[in-house]
Structure 1
């Protein structure tokens, strides 16, 4: 590589010293291979120092994004399953509560009917007892009135016969 460099500088010095005019549009001397070597060398250096670490960082970031996306999809699927399970549990709980309410209403209705039947039976028994008591008092009053009427009738007859 240094030989090319020396050749290129020697040609440039000898060409300037001889006074020969430089080339026209394209000058094909040692600078073309030197530039090619520099480009290749710069490509290797940039690849080693810059492109490879940046590429690795980009690949690591891409891997992280890919794994994060996969984890997010799994967590989303898990959250959807949990939401479905919770909604199913909520539906079952509502159904259970409705069943309990229906059973409680039926039990309350049954207790109401039993209490109503007991109250009616008790009122009938009290009414019958009162009727029989009234009937016995009526009989006693009639017997008492009949006895009083017989006594008064006998008293009137005795007074009328005595007069």
Structure 2
């Protein structure tokens, strides 16, 4: 209280700095204001800033980990895709070869069947020709005998 009374005492007008009780009172006010501001505003704000900085640092580290994991997964999937493409190409090539082999086998079988059928038809034709020729020969013999008999009967 005495400090307040001294501060309210009439201040003589004078120089740049008066050395009365105002100077220590102002110093005490500055220290008190600094203490209050520090405890009420700066510490909570500093804590929020530190918490936010910690959150950002943690988020950044998590993001880097996730990015590395994504890059690893991408590399694995790329490798799996490359393997799948190679397997598909191999399967296509194998299927093409199998189709080609089946085609060649079908052609060979068809040619063999055609040759057998042609040979069978040739043999049948040969048999029928021989039969026709023998029938023709017997008819020729028969006709010649009749012609000879008629010639002999006429003469």
TM-score, with normalisation over the residues of structure 2? Answer: 0.93
Q: CA deviation at 1:111?
A: 1.2
2:18 to 27, 35, 39: 27
Q: CA deviation at 1:107?
A: 0.9
The answer to whether 1:63 aligns with 2:59 is no
2:125 corresponds to which residue?
134
Q: CA deviation at 1:6?
A: 3.5
Q: Distance in 1 between matches of 2:49 and 2:20?
A: 41
1:80 corresponds to which residue?
71
Structure number with greater CO (CA < 8 Å, separation at least 6) is 1
- Partner SS state of residue 105, structure 1: helix
2:7 corresponds to which residue?
8
1:155 corresponds to which residue?
146
Matched residue count:
154
Q: Distance in 2 between matches of 1:37 and 1:99?
A: 89
Unaligned residue ranges in structure 2 (runs of 5+): none
Q: Distance in 1 between matches of 2:118 and 2:64?
A: 79
The C-alpha deviation readout for 1:73-122, integer Å capped at 9, x for no partner, is: 11111111111111111111111011111111111111111111111111
1:100 corresponds to which residue?
91
- Partner SS state of residue 64, structure 2: helix
Unaligned residue ranges in structure 1 (runs of 5+): 16-20
Q: Distance in 1 between matches of 2:122 and 2:16?
A: 144
Q: CA deviation at 1:149?
A: 0.8
Q: CA deviation at 1:34?
A: 1.0
